[in-house]
């Protein structure tokens, strides 16, 4: 089968970039040989979203250790990338059929964090922070391929007569925004979103759908802010440049001035920058909430720590999606006519498919690299 893989030796990680379209053996279900296949399904991808994490693999910015440690552990020299899937089930293992009711022809998407089901968090219903989780397309083979084998317990049925397939393929990253925006009650509140990349843009429409009254967006990239405006954001503030503390201070001042001299009720950090995190904290009014989503490796310095405690500000971390609570909320939001979430995603974030829908069979690395650099989201069509 054809698959888009990371196939560069660990020692060449920094010297290479991109992914390789290769011909590799297709996965199969064989319960006699592999008893765990009873729980699995063989899926034919129809559409697959290219994630920010795929982009950081493409440019060799993150996930090196996770990918190579998993290859060392399980054997193998390459990793099939991709985890944002809409696909059709071709075959099911006996348990996948009996226990989960899946059958060939079913249309599904997937949770990308494969939870173990055995650790303490999994047992108390917090599988999104499973201690032993695998990530599809990073520690186990993913969906940028003609076939992918996935555990039935991770799948999420999707009705493509109600959800447009291009949107259905990106429910997983949209779920990040739903998780972040449902972490605290946003009804009637003012919210500042720091970082209007893909998940930040999703958060603009999700926060609105969940009741946020007034939404501010900040970003260094004017293209992202223009998209946020098309999505109906109330105010955008351009961060003049990265790593400029004075520029960031002026953003905090503008937000405070705009919101009664005190700041917003809640801020969401989606930029993954230490300076921006401090700005997100400082832009929240006393008693407000800060939702942490963006990440960067290494140490962070929290400025004016005392101010956080003395002003009763609360910090909340968000990772992945609550399985499957977030998915249920996401489904309600996508089906709601009032939110027009599907239209906004397709028309604005996916630019009606123009330049964003990419034929998997006509993959051209140079052309593809240009696409991922000029749009917030690219979706493969198989």
Where do contacts with Zn ion occur on this chain (CB under 5 A)? 51, 84, 115-116, 119, 122, 130, 173
- Identify which of residues 121 and 250 has a Cβ nearer to Zn ion in the complex: 121
Minimum gap (Å) between residue 3 Cβ and Zn ion: 18
- Identify which of residues 115 and 156 has a Cβ nearer to Zn ion in the complex: 115
Minimum gap (Å) between residue 371 Cβ and Zn ion: 17
Minimum gap (Å) between residue 211 Cβ and Zn ion: 25
Minimum gap (Å) between residue 176 Cβ and Zn ion: 7
Minimum gap (Å) between residue 361 Cβ and Zn ion: 22
Pairing of strands 264-269, 284-292: parallel
Minimum gap (Å) between residue 116 Cβ and Zn ion: 4
Distance CA 314, CA 308 (A): 8
- Identify which of residues 178 and 281 has a Cβ nearer to Zn ion in the complex: 178
Distance CA 38, CA 382 (A): 27
Q: Is 139:70 a contact under the CB 8 Å cutoff? A: yes
Provide the 3-class DSSP secondary structure of residue 93.
coil
- Identify which of residues 176 and 236 has a Cβ nearer to Zn ion in the complex: 176
- Identify which of residues 174 and 276 has a Cβ nearer to Zn ion in the complex: 174
Here the tokens at position 143 are: 């969906």
- Identify which of residues 3 and 282 has a Cβ nearer to Zn ion in the complex: 3
CA nearest to 281, candidates 258, 246, 314: 314
Q: Is 9:122 a contact under the CB 8 Å cutoff? A: no
Here the tokens at position 188 are: 């009637």
- Identify which of residues 92 and 322 has a Cβ nearer to Zn ion in the complex: 322
Minimum gap (Å) between residue 218 Cβ and Zn ion: 22
DSSP classification of residue 363: -
Return the bridge partners of 69, or none.
Answer: none
Please list, in sequence order, all residues whose beta carbon lies within 8 angstroms of the beta carbon of residue 316, skipping any fewer than 6 positions away. 183, 184, 289, 290, 291, 292
Here the tokens at position 95 are: 């348990």
Which CA distances in Å does 293 have to 194, 195, 268, 273, 373? Answer: 10, 10, 7, 11, 22
Minimum gap (Å) between residue 119 Cβ and Zn ion: 3
Burial-class residue 101 by CB neighbours within 10 Å (0-12, 13-18, 19+). exposed
Residue 291: CB atoms within 10 Å: 26
Here the tokens at position 311 are: 């002003």
Distance CA 25, CA 16 (A): 24
- Identify which of residues 130 and 334 has a Cβ nearer to Zn ion in the complex: 130
Minimum gap (Å) between residue 118 Cβ and Zn ion: 6
- Identify which of residues 85 and 292 has a Cβ nearer to Zn ion in the complex: 85
């Amino acid at each position: 089968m054809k698959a888009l893989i990371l196939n560069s030796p660990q020692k060449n990680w920094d010297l290479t970039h991109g992914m390789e379209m290769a011909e590799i053996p297709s996965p199969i279900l064989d319960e006699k040989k592999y008893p765990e296949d009873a729980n699995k399904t063989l899926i034919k991808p129809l559409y697959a979203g290219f994630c920010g994490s795929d982009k950081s693999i493409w440019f060799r910015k993150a996930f090196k250790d996770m990918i190579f440690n998993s290859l060392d552990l399980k054997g193998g020299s390459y990793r099939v990338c991709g985890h944002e899937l809409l696909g059709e089930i071709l075959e099911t293992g006996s348990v996948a059929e009996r226990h989960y009711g899946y059958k060939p022809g079913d249309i599904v998407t997937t949770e990308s964090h494969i939870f173990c089901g055995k650790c303490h968090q999994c047992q108390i219903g917090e599988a999104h922070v499973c201690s032993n989780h695998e990530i599809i397309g990073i520690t186990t083979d993913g969906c940028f391929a003609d076939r992918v084998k996935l555990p039935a317990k991770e799948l999420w049925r999707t009705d493509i007569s109600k959800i447009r397939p291009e949107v259905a393929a990106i429910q997983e990253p949209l779920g990040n925004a739903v998780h972040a925006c449902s972490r605290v009650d946003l009804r009637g509140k003012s919210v500042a979103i720091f970082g209007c990349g893909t998940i930040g843009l999703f958060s603009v429409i999700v926060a609105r759908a969940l009741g946020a009254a007034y939404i501010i967006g900040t970003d260094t990239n004017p293209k992202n802010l223009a998209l946020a405006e098309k999505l109906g954001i109330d105010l955008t503030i351009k961060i003049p440049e990265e790593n400029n503390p004075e520029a960031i201070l002026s953003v905090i001042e503008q937000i405070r001035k705009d919101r009664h001299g005190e700041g917003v009720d809640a801020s969401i950090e989606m930029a993954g920058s230490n300076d921006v995190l401090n700005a997100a904290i400082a832009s929240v009014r006393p008693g407000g909430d800060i939702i942490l989503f963006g990440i960067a490796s290494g140490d962070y310095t929290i400025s004016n720590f005392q101010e956080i405690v003395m002003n009763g500000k609360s910090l909340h971390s968000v990772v992945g999606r609550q399985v499957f609570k977030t998915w249920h909320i996401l489904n309600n939001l996508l089906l709601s006519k009032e939110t027009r979430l599907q239209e906004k995603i397709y028309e604005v974030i996916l630019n009606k498919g123009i330049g964003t829908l990419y034929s998997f069979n006509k993959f051209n690395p140079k052309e593809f690299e240009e696409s991922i650099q000029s749009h917030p989201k690219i979706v493969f069509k198989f």
